[in-house]
Amino acid sequence: MQNGLKEIREELESFEISGVGTTGSGRHLASMILGSDIVKNEITAHAVAAINYIPDVKTVIEIGGQDSKIIIIRDGIVIDFAMNTVCAAGTGSFLDRQADRLGIDINNFGKLALKSENPVRIAGRCAVFAESDMIHKQQLGHNQEDIINGLCEALVRNYLNNVGKGKELLTPVVFQGGVAANAGIKKAFEKALRTEIRVPKHHDVMGAIGAAILAKEDVKNKGKTNFNGFNITDINYKAKGFECHDCANMCEIIEILGDNKIVARWGDKCGKWTNSVTS
């Protein structure tokens, strides 16, 4: 994060940070260091970005390298969602691994899938079984394009059976996340759902866009940003954790130090450690 800020400062000659928002798995840590105006979970951030892209969006498919999620929206409000953080067969890492095994560039994966004329069915319920089945199909003599298309369809089946199970997937459908760049996956979703799938221009950073939109609204209401400034790139930050034994909750506390000074704590249910930090 600090390296990213340094690059921004070096590449842009004259600019001003109007607001800062954080999201994703490291949002709380990033917020404490940056001095963000809002901290939002990925579901909220992706939903806001999708609504900004297509106001009447009803279904958001998001697949990244390590996890995937589905967001159900009605009348601009999130009414349901689900996440997959366990099974690799429904994430981008699954495709990366198979592309490597096949000896092809992941950037060409989708293009090759589109050339398939007879996609083979590959078991997609588990990444381990899918890989074994793919090897078996290779041994049987199926061509590379058909196997790749089969892998795309296997990932889509895994996603719909696990993440999208029991949910009403209405149109418009927006596809976000890094995997949305894969034309083979997009086609497989369109085949399975029998509808057009919309992919935003900045599909790979829609979560960040959503956080930025929310930060902009927050700063507009309060009149200024909480951003700590670019001086934070020169501070030596360290993170450590410890367990509080003051009660039966046994809370795991995360502590952030900047140049050996405690700048933030969180993780406690009672607020003892959080409130002990003075600005």
Same domain as 226, residue 167: no
Same domain as 67, residue 133: yes
Q: What is the pLDDT of residue 124?
A: 65
Averaged pLDDT, 36-40: 94
Same domain as 248, residue 165: no
Q: Name 200's Cβ contacts closer than 8 Å, sequence gap at least 6.
A: 49, 50, 53, 174, 176, 180, 206
Indicate whether 46 belongs to any domain. no
Same domain as 186, residue 60: yes
Q: How many domains does the chain have?
A: 3
**pLDDT band with cut points at 50, 70 and 90 for residue 265:** confident
Q: What is the pLDDT of residues 164-191, one digit of tens each?
A: 998 999 999 999 999 999 999 999 999 9
pLDDT beyond 80 at 148: yes
Percentage of the chain modeled with pLDDT above 70:
96
Same domain as 244, residue 179: no
Q: Domain span at residue 243?
A: 235-279
Taking only Cα atoms into account, the Rg of the chain, rounded to an integer number of angstroms, comes to 22
Query: 68-74 and 59-63 as β-strands: parallel, antiparallel, unpaired?
Result: antiparallel
Percentage of the chain modeled with pLDDT above 90:
46
Q: Name 197's Cβ contacts closer than 8 Å, sequence gap at least 6.
A: 61, 173, 174, 175, 186, 189, 190
Same domain as 82, residue 123: yes
Q: Which of 26-30, 126-130, 191-195, 237-241 has the highest mean pLDDT?
A: 191-195
Indicate whether 47 belongs to any domain. no
pLDDT beyond 70 at 214: yes
What is the 3-class SS of 180-244, one letter each residue? HHCHHHHHHHHHHHCCCEECCCCHHHHHHHHHHHHHHHHHHHHCCCCCCCHHHHHCCEEEEEEEC
Same domain as 104, residue 77: yes
155, 178, 200 - which closes a domain: 200
Same domain as 181, residue 94: yes
Indicate whether 105 belongs to any domain. yes
pLDDT beyond 90 at 93: no
- Determine contact, residues 244/268, Cβ cutoff 8 Å: yes
Indicate whether 272 belongs to any domain. yes
Same domain as 131, residue 263: no
The tokens 């795309």 sit on which residue?
152
**pLDDT band with cut points at 50, 70 and 90 for residue 89:** low
Indicate whether 221 belongs to any domain. yes
Same domain as 78, residue 104: yes
Averaged pLDDT, 92-104: 83
Same domain as 246, residue 221: no
Same domain as 221, residue 151: no
Give the mean pLDDT of the chain. 88
Indicate whether 190 belongs to any domain. yes
Q: What is the pLDDT of residues 6-30, one digit of tens each?
A: 888 888 777 888 999 999 888 888 8
Indicate whether 160 belongs to any domain. yes
